[in-house]
Amino acid sequence: MIVLLMGVSGSGKTTIGELLAGRMHAVFADADSFHSAANKAKMASGRPLDDNDRQPWLEKLNLLMGEWVRRQENGVLACSALKESYRKTLVHDLPKGSVLFVWLDGSKDLIAGRLAERKNHYMNPGLLDSQLATLEPPSDALRIVNDRRPEEVVNEIMQHVQDEEEQTDGKQAV
């Protein structure tokens, strides 16, 4: 199973993702690591990325998840995945049901506070408004409000992952 943690910058994707991957005995990847130097420089300067900037990045992430599927590895990917079109690119040609989207949500004030505390990150906190404006809330994702201890959030996600696995096992047994 692949869990794709999505949400705006500062929603907790990396923190939750690292903990979740440990609990799932899964490989973890932070999509931020796959951005080009040009994309990172653009964001650091306070300019939001556009769809053309993001497309090669999304395609790299799709290939990464495709490798996980081919190797039959569990994986956790922390990726903003703000638009429906981005999410479609991310799962293009992957087996149906192989990716569980988990939307880490939170109030603007909570997320802005987290961004203000960050050190040595290229994402300019001033881009939060543009990220919130770009976000197309998913209708098919598990929505988790990330406003409590990370362990509690991971427990909630794990319960859902276990439920999904039981449903999948039940369908294969039929």
Q: What is the CATH number of domain 2-162?
A: 3.40.50.300
Distance from C-alpha of 44 to C-alpha of 120, rounded to nearest angstrom: 10
Q: Which residues of 63-95 are buried (b: 16+ CB within 10 A; e: fewer)?
A: ebbbebbeeeeebbbbbbbbbeebbebbbeeee
Q: How confident is the model at residue 170 (pLDDT cuts 50, 70, 90)?
A: low
For 94-133, the pLDDT digits (tens) are: 999 999 999 999 988 888 888 777 665 555 556 677 888 8
The 10s digit of each residue's pLDDT in 30-66 is 999 999 999 988 888 878 888 999 999 999 999 999 9
Which helix (H) or strand (E) is 168 found in, with range? helix 150-173
- Which residue, 55, 15, 64, 12, is CA-closest to 36? 55
**pTM: predicted TM-score of the whole model, two decimal places:** 0.87
